[in-house]
Amino acid sequence: MFDIITIGGASRDVFFLTDEGRVINDLAHHQKLIAFEYGSKIIPKKTEFSYGGGGANTAISFAKLGLHTATIMNIGFEGTGSLVVKELEAAQVSCEHITRDKVNHTALSTIVSLPNEDHTMFLYRGSNDFMKVHDWRPIHAGWFYLSSLTGESVSLIPELFAYARAHNIKIAWNPGHEQLVGDCQDLAKYIEDTSILILNKEEACSLVRGMDGDIDLSDIKKILTALAQMTEGIVVVTDGEYGSYVSIDGKQHHEPAHSTKVVETTGAGDAYGSTFVAAVIKGFGNKYAMKLAAENAARVVSFIGAQSGLMTFDELRAKIDGGEPDEN
């Protein structure tokens, strides 16, 4: 039996780091845009090739944190898919529940980063859109970690929650965009059964707006309260440079973002969510889990790629002053 099984995507990630782009503030639409000269050829200052995807990132993180880990995902049958499997196996992640897709190619992400700015990502989801579990019976775990699902893979959600409920498997869930913009009432019944709900601030606002159009989205305490009313589990909301928030048993906690030199932000949310969940599974208190998670997320963004900076529990605890779990 596995400590945890992740369910989500895997991708080949290509990073282009350049200073040739410009950030434009589009005031009319309240957003920022990245612009490049029309018709130009952009030669990046640096290019990196790595692996990503929520299912793969969190699986490798859990394994590195010492949990017996497997993953459920659909990967292309071509050479890129074989490289993804090799990467997972090298990290001691069991691949026995991975399916290989002979029709759809492994997902591809192209990430463009400008100095001191957030990234823009171009996504080909490929085989990630076609995940299926043909037989749940051989799947045994204490926890599921469900990350963003897309396309036809969304149909796994009711199957997964039903199987988890029948077999006393706890679920940590980071709902994706397609879940958050869907039927709110349908979503609510799954959130109610979620042991740890993990969202970034934008995702949290999208969810509570769908449930209550009158809520003040500038007040994080009200957002946390609204989310906590949807589930008896733990609610985690990350907010980039402003840190992270956790609501449990009517109490709200804040952990500032840990200081680091930001190189590239891909994978920070996966690092935070997986580390927090792993700490809870290992019996650490929630406030200490937040510190560990914030430290791992800070380390990841100091590297290019979602997996390069991930740390072990021993490395994380050595970084955190005090080094002892709290009681809350």
Q: Is residue 135 part of a domain?
A: yes
What pLDDT shows up at residue 56? Answer: 97
Q: Is residue 221 part of a domain?
A: yes
Q: Is residue 40 part of a domain?
A: no
Q: Is residue 171 part of a domain?
A: yes
What pLDDT shows up at residue 50? Answer: 93
**What number of other Cβ atoms are within 10 A of residue 90's Cβ?**
10
Q: Is residue 288 part of a domain?
A: yes
Q: Is residue 192 part of a domain?
A: yes
Closest by Cα among 220, 206, 310, 236 to 268: 310
Task: Classify burial at 287, counting beta carbons within 10 Å of its beta carbon; exposed 0-12, middle 13-18, buried 19 or more.
Answer: middle
Cα–Cα distances (Å) from 155 to 106, 132, 152, in that order, read 19, 8, 6
Range of the domain at 134: 2-10+53-319
Q: Is residue 23 part of a domain?
A: no
Q: Is residue 31 part of a domain?
A: no
Integer Cα distance of 296 and 311 in angstroms? 6
| CATH, residue 302 | 3.40.1190.20
What pLDDT shows up at residue 183? Answer: 60
Integer Cα distance of 278 and 13 in angstroms? 25
CA angle 53, 57, 58 (to 5 degrees): 120
Per-residue confidence of the chain (328 residues) as pLDDT tens digits?
999 999 999 999 999 989 988 989 877 767 889 999 999 999 988 899 999 999 999 999 999 999 999 999 999 999 999 999 999 999 999 999 999 999 999 999 999 988 877 788 899 999 999 999 999 999 999 999 999 999 999 999 999 999 999 999 999 999 987 778 766 567 888 999 999 999 999 899 888 887 666 777 788 999 999 999 999 899 999 999 999 999 998 899 999 999 998 888 889 999 999 999 999 999 999 999 999 999 999 999 999 889 999 999 999 999 886 544 454 5
pTM of the model: 0.91
- Number of folded domains that form the chain: 1
